[in-house]
Amino acid sequence: MRLGYEGYTAKVDNQMSVTSYLRQFLAGLKHPSGKPRFQMLDGGDICCLPVVAARLNPEFVLHYDDIDFQHALSESHWHVSGYSLGFENPINERFEGLCSDANKDSTMFHIVVKSNLTQSLAGNLAEKIEKIVTILDEMDGGYESIHSKLTDLAIGAKDDTIPIEKLREFSDSIGDLPSRSLSKSQFVQQQRTSIVAQNIC
């Protein structure tokens, strides 16, 4: 109310302009193969919220996903929200796909453009994104080895919990450890929150 109609309109117009800039940047970013680095998932610039939704191009077989990308980017003090496109069905306790046209192991992310995200700051975010995906590409088998080893431990557990002793075997890779056993889903989430950060610095 304090901005008035014109002030509020100007604020929203600025948000939409910055959103469009980030959307076009992500859509135009190329993988070394020449193909688009990201697949855009939002409705585009027309009748859309100031939110950019995308995911790493599923055509590529990468050793990292959008959740890893989120955590790596956070090392540059930028937060984008990464999501799994799968969920644990409370009825049958199975991990199932959230969308009919995406694998249950797929991930995505979105960027919410608030009114304090200026064009200059958006340019900095774009630079960091381009740098981060290049670094993740260059990590190659070293990163993949850590990622897959921890995931295999979770998947290979005989029951639904993983003893703290097993977790301690990977203490150098996953950082601070909990003081109790974790369920498989909690373990996978815990390891995701620290592996990238410790390998990106």
Contacts of 63 by beta carbon, 8 Å cutoff, 6+ apart:
139, 140, 141, 143, 144, 147
**Per-residue pLDDT at 20:** 95
pLDDT of residue 16: 94
> Average of pLDDT values for 89-98?
88
Segment among 14-23, 140-149, 163-172, 185-194 with least mean pLDDT: 185-194
d(CA 115, CA 9): 12
User: pLDDT-derived band of residue 200, with 50, 70 and 90 as boundaries?
Assistant: very low
Residues 6+ apart with CB under 8 A from 123: none
The separation between the first and the last C-alpha atoms of the chain, rounded to the nearest angstrom, is 44
Tell me the pTM: 0.69
Half-sphere exposure of 45 (CA within 13 A, CB side): 13
Question: Where does the pLDDT of residue 135 fall: very low under 50, low under 70, confident under 90, or very high at 90 and above?
Answer: confident
Asked whether the predicted pLDDT for residue 34 surpasses 90, the reply is yes
| pLDDT above 90 for 18 | yes
Comparing 70 with 162, the larger pLDDT belongs to 70
